[in-house]
Chains A and B, each alone.
Chain A
Amino acid sequence: MRLEAFGEVLRLGLVNLLRNKLRTFLTMLGMIFGVGSVIAMLSVGAGARREILARIQKLGINNIIVHSIKPPEETKTDTQEENRWFAKYGLLFEDRELLEATCPSVDRVLPINLVKQPVWLGSRRVNAAVMGVLPEHLSMFHLAVARGRVFNEVDAQERKQVCVVRRGLVEDLQLLDDPVGMQVHLGNESYEIIGVLADARFRSHTREALAIDEHAQDVYIPYTTSMRNFGTMTYIQRAGTQEMSSVELDEMIVVAKETSLVRTTARMIEAVLRHNHKKKDYEIVVPLLQLEQQEQIQSVFNAVMIVIAAISLVVGGIGIANIMLATITERTREIGIRRAMGARRNDILLQFLTETAAIGVVGGLFGCLFGFVAVRAVVAFTGWQALTEPYYVLLALSISCLVAIAAGIYPARRAARMDPIGALRYQ
């Protein structure tokens, strides 16, 4: 019976709202924007979190990446007296040994020998980055094979001519058959493809952020094989100019023992390298710091969105309160009639609260729709990731319902407290 009575009240409320559709819609607008921004905020926030996680996985939170870079042009004149016929710069084998030996917070240092070499398959050619890495490198960066296998210690020790390629390369080579077991040429040597990596599918923005596109054509070969076949010399021929350079260590990944030691380790690396190198021919990238920076930006964004959502909801609530007050004034006689017919104060209160709650729920539903559209728009315009969980809808609906009821309390109480005699006489 109580439930039936509530159903009646709800029906009455909905009938009253439908009677004045435009006004109801305008009343809901604030709610719609408020709920929409809540949904958008949550979705974009969750998307960003997922992206950060992907980034952590990609770069490794405990890692510090040190690249060799060519020193600025001006320093070249300084070295001219040495009169080398090739440029020698970058990280030294010694740097790696020194770091492993002196730095207690370093777990290990993974060297990378990077060679820009085209990959040939018969007459087809694809430009690729050939990375000579230790066997553990692949597992450290969660690079798992989709088919075939990764290379192991034995391959490394025997300096086997094997390679692991990315799916992107397979696509670029236009291979339709199973690439595992095929022979490709890198430089003067022939290598057997032993594995194809399972590339995680990223959306465009993540791809950009993680610079995955650059690595789409990566070819991994054992470090030892790479050192034997390519050595430290790089020969680049561009239109009209030739350049020879010698870089002992193209890149090294310093793995800290714990995440909490990453900052200290980074400072130590900086100190060691500054001591060993006259020129700044290296670059230190700390993913952890980048992530923290990104998280900071994210938290600022979240704070802004929360404020926007809160303001919209408050404004929406005020809008509802305002319209309800107007409605109650307009319906004073109705209230008087109902009271004369035996409605108790609580009946009137419940009637108007149900109407505002219905505005809240319906407004919340429209708000969710608006939110979905807004998320789509944000994703389309900024390339950010978004993740909308189903429970956001429930959360947004309860928020809007609560705000609407809170906004409706004062007008409903005012309606309930009207003097029936005065209300009946109201013109």
Chain B
Amino acid sequence: MLQGIELTIHPGEFVGIVGASGSGKTTLMNIVGCLDRPSAGRYVLDGEDVSTLDDDALSLARNRSIGFVFQSFQLIPQLSVLENVEVPLYYGRRSRATRRARASELLASVGLSHRLRHHPAQLSGGECQRVAVARALANEPALILADEPTGNLDTQSGEDVMQLLFELHRAGRTIVMVTHNPEIAARLPRVVEMRDGAIQRDSGALAEAGR
């Protein structure tokens, strides 16, 4: 699917990846998110080559270094908001008390302190996505990976989520975001455009070349 990709993302960057469906951006996202391994080539995440790791080590890498924000939120419907945010902490082997405290704190930071005991079905789309962002931050990951985070939201909620992401970026987080929306892409500091499994244009590379 992917051919000759060479992409470096520095800490603290906010990178948008755009491209038509079938352009290979999903595959790129899966590799970047440690959900898939490249059949050839290397992927160095946070200083560690993860392209040859086995399944358990890859799971650990996801747990420690990646925070996912999905288009369809991907919250576990049976769990409360608080429990959902606890999931990455749970697999990070944190004690129950630590998890509780950390999850509450994260939910407070996205403005959902009043929703801890609610279940995802009782929340609006925008609130769900904010829960997902809180969850993504749980283990202080090196990279936040957002896959069309505003795709399922109305304009206002989408804007709220975008504001939240920009805030995180300003706070020094590294974010990679896949988007279809050219308006949103236009607001990102760096945009990588994919086509037919290759990088067609990388504004960051231009900037770097121009530096």
Contacts and interface: CB of A to CB of B under 8 A. Distances in A.
Interface of A: 1, 4-5, 8, 15-16, 19, 333-334, 336-347, 420-421, 424
A347 B63 CA distance: 13
Given A334-B78, A339-B59, A341-B63, A1 B30 contact: no
Interface in B139-194: 139
A343 B91 contact: yes
Contact of A340 (B35, B64, B77, B96): B35
Interface stretch (B2-10, B15-23, B68-76, B122-130): B68-76
Contacts of B33: 340
A346 to B, nearest CB: 8
B36 A4 contact: no
Contacts of A19: 78
Contacts of A338: 76, 87, 91
Contacts of A15: 78
Interface size class of B (residues with CB under 8 A): 20 to 34
A237 B42 CA distance: 114
Contacts of A343: 59, 91
17 contacts: A4-B96, A8-B90, A19-B78, A334-B77, A336-B74, A337-B74, A337-B76, A338-B76, A338-B87, A338-B91, A339-B62, A341-B135, A342-B88, A342-B139, A344-B91, A345-B59, A421-B35
Contacts, number: 65
The 9 residue pairs across chains A and B that have the minimum distance between CB atoms? A342-B63, A342-B91, A341-B88, A344-B59, A344-B56, A341-B87, A342-B62, A337-B74, A343-B91
- Interface of chain A, main secondary structure: helix
Given A338-B87, A342-B88, A420-B35, A333 B60 contact: no
B88 A421 contact: no
B55 to A, nearest CB: 6
B93 interface: yes
B93 A5 contact: yes
B2 to A, nearest CB: 15
A340 B74 contact: yes
Contacts of A333: 74
Contacts of B90: 8
B52 to A, nearest CB: 17
Given A4-B96, A337-B87, A424-B70, A342 B59 contact: yes
B66 to A, nearest CB: 8
A337 B135 CA distance: 11
A343 B89 CA distance: 10
Interface string B78-115: 10000000011011110110000000000000000000
B64 A342 contact: yes
Interface of B: 30, 33, 35-36, 55-56, 59-60, 62-64, 68, 70, 74-78, 87-88, 90-93, 95-96, 135, 139
A334 B30 CA distance: 18
A173 B76 CA distance: 79
A51 to B, nearest CB: 52
Nearest to A338: B87
Most chain B CB neighbours (cut-off 10 Å) among A1, A334, A336, A345:
A334
Contact of B30 (A4, A345, A421): A421
A19 B76 CA distance: 13
Contacts of A346: 56
Nearest to B63: A342
Nearest to B89: A341
A346 B91 CA distance: 11
Given A341-B62, A347-B91, 17 more contacts: A1-B95, A4-B96, A8-B90, A8-B96, A15-B78, A339-B35, A340-B62, A340-B68, A341-B91, A341-B135, A342-B60, A342-B91, A342-B139, A345-B56, A421-B35, A421-B36, A424-B70
